[in-house]
Structures are given as C-alpha cells and as structure tokens.
Amino acid sequence: MATVTLNNIRKNYGSLEVVKGVDLEIRDREFIVLVGPSGCGKTTLLRMIAGLETITSGDLAIDGKRVNDVQPDERGLAMVFQSYALYPHMSVADNMGFALRMAGVPKAERQSKVRDAARILQLEPYLDRRPGQLSGGQRQRVAIGRAIVRNPKVFLFDEPLSNLDAALRMQMRIELARLHHELDATMIYVTHDQVEAMTLADRIVVVNGGRIEQVGAPMEIYANPVSTFVAGFIGAPKMNLLAGKLQCTSDAAQAILEDGSAVTLPTRPGLANGDAITIGIRPEALRVTADGSLAGRVTVVEHLGGETLTHIELASGQLATVKTDERAPAKVGQTVRLGVDPRRLHLFGPDGRAVSRRSEALQPG
C-alpha cells in the first residue's frame, strides 16, 4: 500500500522558482510517468519526493502521512539514479545488500534477499563482480536490484534508461513493465522520452516549466491533449500544428492559414471571428488526396519499414508530416494536396489551450 500525494509543491533555488506549485495524487501500485523537456523540473520534483532536496513550500504525503521533514531513508522508498550511482568499490552483492546492512539485517537473511533479487534480474552470475566490470545494461540492473532488495513502498526512477543504447533501452523498458507487475509497487518514473511514457505509464504527467500541463492515461492524453505543448510533446512523429485565423460564417467555421488556404473545422469553437487559432493534425490523420484543402511540396521521404513519413513544406511555409503504411504517397519534389478529416482535428485557441476543453480549463482549481 502506498499512495503519494503532492499538494502545491514548490521549489526555489534562491530567487529562481523551478517547481511552481504541483498538485498530484499518485495511487497505490500505480506506474506514474513524469515526462517533459529537459530542465522542466522533473528531477527536482523526484528528489523532493525522495527527500534529497528540501521542499520550499507545499505538502508531501506518503500513505496520507506528511513526510516533508522525514529523513529519506525513513520514507520507505528507493531510487534508481540516472547515473546508476553504484558503489564502485563494492561487489554487486554488496551493492545490493548495502541498505540491509545499514539496517542491521543479519548476513544470512541479507544474502538470501540479494539472491532473490539477483534471480529476478538475471544477475546471479555477476554477484561477485565490481560495477566497473559490468556492461551498461548490467549496471542498470544492479541499480534496480539495489532498489528491489529494500522492498520499498515506492520506487523512484530518474531517466534510468537514458544511458543505454536503443536496443537495450527497449529491452529494459519491457523488463520494467514486467517488474511493475511482479513487484506490485507504486512507481514514479521520470523521463524526457515520450515513448517510454506512452509504453510504461498507467498515467502520464506532462510537466512543462515547473508546472503540470496534463495528467491522464497515455491514450487519453494522446487523444485529447489540453495544449499545443502536450500535443507537440506526446506522440511520434510530432503532431502537425498549423497556425491560422478563425473565420466564422453563418453555417460553418474555417481556419484560414497564412497562405490563405482554408481548413474546415468540425464545430464552431467558442472564439471570436478573426482570433488566432492553431489546428493540430496527427501525421496519421493527414492524407495526400487530390481534393485536399492544403497544398505543399514534398521535401523528404523517410521509409521506416512498416511505415513511411513524408515531410511536406506547405504553401504557407509551415512544415507538415504525413504518416502512411509502407508506400510513400508521393515523391520528393512533387507538389501534392493534403486532406484532413475534420473530426480528427485538434483546435487550440490564442493561448495555446485546447478549445474543446475550454469550459473545463476555466473551472476553478
């Protein structure tokens, strides 16, 4: 059982505010992923939860108990650092058993717990080695093993896969997902990689500039991003975001892009005629079609095997990406027209907030 509650958490370094009031309710056994660009305050937030950084203001509670002033080792959590932070002069077994040793657990019990964790992580052949004699992936596993041995209520991960190569990263991602099922613990995972967020999370927390932009299940966030920031950050390749002006007539609404081309909107957004509007189109929702409302020239075609990305420079000068199955819809240099299904459009107002969610966003709290 472990819930973690953040209530208006703030962090200042001198006069610089890096975490600007974060509210978050993390449920028991949830795999929560904090995702955001580098420098947005994810690590700081995680370190405050761990107790390595003081909380400037706000309340942090674990299982309903305020822990702002509780020592890190008494919060019942374990952390896996981005750099792994293994003890270089100790064997793998000693690394993993260190916390138990500090807690005064008898040697025999310590060894059996270390062996259990090593088995889960396939580290048994390496127990006598030093961290320096291991590969990156193995070190990563030792770092996770060190956390597992302590049997914590909450696991904290700070970009644990960022130092691994792409193949290993994918493998470890799957392993982490498996571990979460096996261990049944609450996990708080920080990453700047939206793929990790999408694949691992029960719920994603999108962080931007020290604030939470959006919280939700991966597909919920993917389907309904509340802002251009979230829309651009979640999903690969990025959502196409095209700026224009709103033009409403008695029976229809259109977005007029910079080159004058008009995109029909599904509904009439609650904005004034002439307001700036940004339309968002996922690359897979954009089609090359003869009667499309947008025109552009193909600049690059990327064949990824199962899918193909076609990059197009629109007449307005903006760039758009079209995602299709293996076949490219056009050749480089060709001029094409692009069509959009109005129902798959995302609309964002002048402030960058999603228009369809406007009424929610205005509610207090």
Partner 1 sequence: MERPLTQRIFAAVAGWGLAIIMFFPILWMAMTAFKREPEAIASPPLIFFEPTLRNFEQVLDRADYLHFFFNSVIVSVGSTLLGLAVGLPAAYALAFHPGKRAKDLLVWMLSTKMMPAVGVLVPIYLMFKSAGLLDSRIGLVVLYMLVNLPIIIWMLFTFFREVPREILEAARLDGARPLRQFIHLLIPLTAPGIASTALLSIILAWNEAFWSINLTVSNATPLTAFIASFSSPQGLFWAKLSAASLLAIGPILVFGWITQRQLVRGLTFGAVK
Site residues for ligand ADP per CB under 6 A: 13, 16, 18, 36, 38-44
Minimum distance between the CB of residue 189 and ligand ADP, rounded to whole angstroms?
A: 12
Cα dihedral 152, 193, 41, 230 sign: negative
Binding mask 93-112 for partner 1 (x = CB under 8 A): -----xx--xx---------
Cα dihedral 161, 164, 165, 170 sign: negative
Q: Which does 151 bind (CB under 5 to 8 A by kind): Mg ion, partner 1, ligand ADP, none?
A: none
Are 197 and 207 in contact by the 8 Å Cβ rule? The answer is no
Q: Which does 44 bind (CB under 5 to 8 A by kind): partner 1, ligand ADP, Mg ion, none?
A: ligand ADP
Are 63 and 3 in contact by the 8 Å Cβ rule? The answer is yes
Residues 73-92 that bind partner 1 (CB under 8 A): 73, 77-79, 81-83, 85-89
Q: Which residues, other chains included, contact 262 with Cβ-Cβ below 8 Å and sequence gap of 6+?
A: 247, 254, 255, 256, 293
Supply the DSSP symbol for 361: H
3-state SS string for 313-339 = EECCCCEEEEEECCCCCCCCCCEEEEE
Minimum distance between the CB of residue 176 and partner 1, rounded to whole angstroms?
A: 19
Q: Which does 41 bind (CB under 5 to 8 A by kind): partner 1, ligand ADP, Mg ion, none?
A: ligand ADP
Minimum distance between the CB of residue 40 and partner 1, rounded to whole angstroms?
A: 20
Report the Cα 281 to chain-centroid distance in Å. 20
- Contacting residue, 43, 186, 191, 228, with Mg ion by CB under 5 A: 43
Residues 28-57 that bind partner 1 (CB under 8 A): 50-52
Minimum distance between the CB of residue 205 and Mg ion, rounded to whole angstroms?
A: 14
Q: Name which of 47, 225, 143 is nearest 216 in CA terms.
A: 225
Ramachandran class of 299: left when φ > 0, alpha when ψ lies in -120 to 50, beta otherwise: alpha
164 binds partner 1 (CB under 8 A): no
Residue least distant from ligand ADP (Cβ): 43
Q: Which does 262 bind (CB under 5 to 8 A by kind): partner 1, ligand ADP, Mg ion, none?
A: none
Distance CA 294, CA 339 (A): 7
Q: Which positions lie near partner 1, rule CB under 8 A?
A: 50-52, 72-73, 77-79, 81-83, 85-89, 98-99, 102-103, 146, 150
Q: Which positions lie near Mg ion, rule CB under 5 A?
A: 43
